[in-house]
Amino acid sequence: MQISFESLETPALTKAQLADLLFDQIGLNKRESKDMVDAFFDLVVENLISGEDVKISGFGNFQIRTKAARPGRNPRTGELIPIDARRVATFHASHKLKALIQGDPVDEDDVTELGRP
């Protein structure tokens, strides 16, 4: 299965465009495509909220990082403002994805795993 992204007009890939790609290239109906994309992202979000890492082989890892409270500063006034502790989502690309982005040669099995011929 090969997924073509040539029809994308914007530099950002949206959930609607992902659903359209599933519809066009895999043959799911529009409702199933939208539901599948929504279910995927809902699953990722639920796992991150619960504190679990999300690892997608050959693509990367989504993780939750807890940042401690710290002093901040308003850049316009110089006034000190406390920044509360918070949890943030981070993404770390896999070595395979990084190599593809850089145009480095990769093992054929690695490229196929990412959905490229």
**Structural domains in the chain, sorted by start:** 12-52 (4.10.520.10), 53-117 (4.10.520.10)
In this prediction, residue 109 carries a pLDDT of: 59
**Cβ(73)–Cβ(81) below 8 Å:** yes
Token readout for 51 is: 């504190």
In this prediction, residue 117 carries a pLDDT of: 46
Three-state DSSP class for residue 64: strand
- Rounded alpha-carbon distances, angstroms, from residue 7 to 29, 37, 72: 19, 18, 44
List, for the chain, all residue ranges whose pLDDT scores fall below the cut of 70.
1-10, 107-117
